[in-house]
Structure 1
Amino acid sequence: MSNRTINFLRITMIILMVLSVGLLLWQHFGMTRILRIDPQTPYQVKSIDDRTQGGASIGTFAKNKEALQLQCDLKKNQYQWPFCEMSIEFSNTGEGIDLSEFDRIVFDMDLRGPEFKKVRVYLRNFESDISKLDDPLSPKVNELEFAPPAGETFSVPLKYFRVASWWIDEKNIPIFSTDMRLDNVTQIEIATPGKVQTGLHQIELKSLEFHGKWLSLTQVLMMIVMAWLVFCFVWLLMELLAYRERDQVKRARMHELETINRVLEIQAEVLSNKIQLDPLTGALNREGLRDFLLQQWQGEMPTSAGMSVLFADLDYFKRINDNYGHAVGDDVLRQFAQLVQSEIRQSDGLVRWGGEEFLIVCPNTQLDQAVRLAEKLRASVANAQWPSSIMLTCSCGVATRAQGEEFSSLIERADAALYKAKDNGRNRVELG
């Protein structure tokens, strides 16, 4: 993934964080949605009293610029529950207003009359399974009775409304339909309470407001979560695309390296037929080793023992190349080859086996002699002065040919001894 893409994702993440916090703050302190009912609203308002139920109370409605007024001459006779109410009708077709998105209702009203301290509010919700257009009392009655403070607005959470038990009994409503719902309110009624003295009462409604949020906290949180999920998905997708691109580049490089290696192998094979010495160190290469052995044996390899081989490897040589560069590494290899040549006999052969690994072939040399030579070489390497004041050590693996043993087997035992020296801590000699 490019730095430009990473910076873009980081900036996007910061913006998303700011927007998330801002949206939560806006939802809490703002985003207010208000439905207001006052004398200027076009809804139909009328008075209802208990005379339809056989009572004697008389309610009259009046409206001016400041308020909706209900005058109620509350009287008692054979009807047990005298009342008057102001009815605000949103619809007579069964298509009301969805108040479920609001969370509270704010009243600005005054009550006048003998011991008139409480008021009852009905929110009638039309529900097709239990309500009928030809029955004005069939919409569900969600009621709340409370005492508003005189001369002050009063806010009531809508969650405090409850379905009226008397309406449930009267309409014989099934239990599964008795839940409080405000998703299709067709009528609001403001009435005198259940217990109030007879006499002249007045309800003066200046305004009634439903307050809520354009987006609920749950909706805002869902939007934020979805935005973050989309962001994370995009980030993951871009990471996968970047990984795929890196993998393709890596494969292309590996293919290129394989091609180069094949070319080098071919070139090395061609050059090996012409050159028997390692051009960097002056030691024999593997082709030179073959000729060296042929000169030693003058034909077939003898069956008797008496040859030892040493594998010597410079410890942690890769660090020299990494820390000081390949030029210094080449100087170290040249000096190491010169040091070994000065310690071995003219009849011995020094072969650069590969990288920093050298093979020393010692004809007519017993195991104890080969071990002493290996220890001498190890000490010489540790005490020598190397380029750039590098502290250098070497590990050695020693093996002596058994009677009738193939030379390849001898090489393998010495190589195994070298790896044993490495595994046991380096700067040591091990026998194979």
Structure 2
Amino acid sequence: MNSTSSNILRYALIFLILVSIGVLTWQHFGMERKLRIDANSAHQFIAVDDRTQGGKSVAHLSKVNDAMVMKCKIAKSEYQWPYCQIRIQLTKMPSGMDLSHFDDIDFNLSRSGPGPEKVRVYLNNFEAYSKINDSSTLKVNELLLDTKGADMASSHIPLNLFRVASWWVEYKNIPLIDTDMQVDNVPIIEISTPGFAPEGEHEITFKYIEFHGKWLSLTQVLLGIVSAWLTFGVAWLGFEIFQYRQRLSQERSQRSELEVINRVLEIQAEVLSNQAQIDPLTGALNRAGLNNLLSKKWPGEIPKDAQLSILFADLDHFKRINDTHGHAVGDEVLQQFAQLVKSKIRKSDGFVRWGGEEFLVACPEMPHDLAVKLAENIRDSAEKSSWPHSIAVTCSCGVATRNHGEDFNALIERADIALYRAKKGGRNRVEIG
């Protein structure tokens, strides 16, 4: 490895080390993303109570300064679980907010009234089984929060403390596989009085909920760093191999330059031989190209049960066209006829200029009746087409379909004999071999 290349790799290594340290530091101390939902947000705030379930509790919601204040009178009735709640409509169902990228939540809310000063917070997720016009079908992710205790003293409450409400699972008869906590499509957040709330006057004051997270998780950052180091290692190894091969090539060249030149000439001859499979005038394959096509389709010998149809097409009285109009016009006719045939055959078929004005179409997996139909289509199209200098051009066709285990040369011979019969029988016709 030369000095310049070595220095470049060293600088790249130092740069990668610094970037890795910088990204890890940024992920730990920065890269913050935040979503704040407060009383001044454009979201819809609604007071909800148990009267829709047959209860008698009454909730009223009003905005006081920078807070939403819900006053609720809990009243006992035949409904067993009286409640009042503030519903925050984030989006219109079925779409919702993806909160799964956040890690922690800050709350600024309080509750007063009889009983413990706790509230239930619901992050309701729209699932595949949820219904647009029925919010009760949303998956209920629940958190019981102490508005005066240690919960509110925490700077951040982890999002993974939310759990799917067991009463909702039982009430909706949710299968076990669907009871995992999901918050990737949340259209509604609810803040509710605690379960079995005592009768009396309750009040919940909501100022804001703030979601905190990282734009990239530590796992994603570490995966990116590992990928970068792996890419760098592979690149370094590749460069070393390249340098080694370059040196080895130079040494071999010095030892035996003539041998290298001869090998290059052999390779070039082989490449040219592989490329010389196209007829330059018509763009059709030549016979070498046909052999290559069949070798790709059936490596080795053609299987005995392989289906193959051969179609020969020969332009009628082509010598007369050349003698009367010249070889340039004859070439135009050949080119137009080649384009006509190409437009009729499949991509899997092989179109070959067999010699002069004679063409062959090899049709793998084509039954006999379709091969005859193709030949008739080509013949009819040639007769009806407009040709240079208004020449009347027709073609004769011979068709043969391979018998079980038949040799390829025998198949070609049958098709060629059929073509001969077509020309002898008056031309501009299709004969079957």
Identify the TM-score tier after normalising by the shorter chain: 0.5 to 0.7
Aligned equivalents of 2:115, 2:138: Cα separation in 1: 31
Partner secondary structure for residue 137 of structure 2: coil
What amino acid is the match of 1:139?
A: L
Q: TM-score, normalised by structure 2?
A: 0.57
Letter paired with 1:136: S
1:107: which partner in 2? 107
User: Distance between the aligned counterparts of 2:12 and 2:77, measured in 1?
Assistant: 74
- In the alignment, the residues of structure 1 paired with residue 226 and residue 88 of structure 2 have an alpha-carbon distance, to the nearest angstrom, of 41
| Separation (CA, whole Å) in 1 of partners of 2:170 and 2:196 | 20
Q: Deviations over 1:13-46 (max 9, x none)?
A: 1111111121112112211111100122111110
CA contact (8 A) 1:118 1:147 kept: yes
Number of residue pairs matched by the alignment = 257
The aligned residue for residue 176 of structure 1 is 177
Task: State the secondary structure of the residue aligned to 1:105.
Answer: strand
Check conservation: 1:141, 1:163, Cα contact below 8 A.
yes
CA contact (8 A) 1:122 1:142 kept: yes
SS at match of 1:19: helix
The answer for the alignment partner of 1:19 in structure 2 is 19
Residues 39, 64 of structure 1: 8 Å contact kept: no
8 Å CA contact 1:107, 1:153 repeated in 2? no
**In the aligned structure 1, how far is the partner of 2:82 from the partner of 2:145?**
18
Find the aligned partners of 1:194 and 1:108 in 2 and give their Cα distance: 21
What is the correspondence of 1:8-87 to structure 2 with a 5 Å cutoff?
8-87=8-87
RMSD value over aligned CA atoms? 2.0
- Counterparts of 1:177 and 1:242, CA distance in 2: 57
Pairwise CA distance, 1:152: 5.3
CA contact 1:124–1:185 (8 Å) conserved in 2: yes
Shift of 1:95: 0.3
Runs of at least 4 residues off by over 6 Å = none
Q: Which residue of 1 aligns with 2:3?
A: 3
Q: Judge conservation of contact 1:98–1:182 (CA < 8 Å) in 2.
A: yes
Partner of 1:165: 166
Once residues 203 and 197 of structure 1 are traced to their aligned partners in structure 2, the CA distance between those partners, rounded to angstroms, is 14
Task: Tell me the CA shift for residue 115 of structure 1.
Answer: 3.0
Is 1:141 the equivalent of 2:146?
no
Deviations 1:320-374 (A, max 9, x none): xxxxxxxxxxxxxxxxxxxxxxxxxxxxxxxxxxxxxxxxxxxxxxxxxxxxxxx
Is residue 222 of structure 1 aligned with residue 234 of structure 2? Answer: no
8 Å CA contact retained: 1:32, 1:212: yes
Helix, strand or coil at the partner of 2:255? helix
The structure with more radius of gyration: 1
In structure 2, what is the Cα distance between the partners aligned to 1:28 and 1:208? Answer: 23
Report the CA distance between 1:225 and its aligned residue.
1.3
| Cα contact 1:107–1:154 (8 A) shared by 2 | no
In structure 2, give the amino acid aligned to 1:133.
I
Letter in 1 for 2:213: G
Preserved contact between residue 97 and residue 185 of structure 2 (Cα < 8 Å): yes
What secondary structure, in the 3-state scheme, does the structure 1 residue paired with 2:226 have?
A: helix
Q: Structure 2: how far apart are the matches of 1:242 and 1:68? A: 71
Unaligned runs of 5+ in 1: 259-432
CA distance in 2, matches of 1:62, 1:154: 28
* Counterpart check, 1:97 vs 2:93: no
After superposition, residues 295-306 of structure 1 pair within 5 angstroms as: none
- Are the aligned partners of 1:67 and 1:204 in contact in 2 as well (CA < 8 Å)? yes
- Give the corresponding residue for 1:325: none
Q: CA deviation at 1:171?
A: 1.1
Q: Partner letter of residue 216 of structure 2?
A: L
Distance 2:94 2:101 in 1: 19
Give the letter aligned to residue 120 of structure 1: R
For the 8 Å contact 2:98–2:183, the answer to whether it is kept is yes
The alpha-carbon deviation at position 149 of structure 1 amounts to 2.9
Question: Which residue in the other structure is 1:242 paired with?
Answer: 243
**Identical columns (%):** 48
What residue number does 2:264 align with? none
| 1:252 shift after superposition | 3.1
Query: Hey, what does 2:384 align to over in structure 1?
Result: none
Shift of 1:153: 6.7
Asked whether the 8 Å contact 2:56–2:75 carries over to 1, the reply is: yes
C-alpha change, 1:149 and 1:232, in structure 2 (3 Å) is: same
**What do residues 104-163 of structure 1 show as CA deviations (whole Å, max 9, x unaligned)?**
1110112222234111011100012x2011222001001011213378575321111111
TM-score by structure 1 length?
0.57
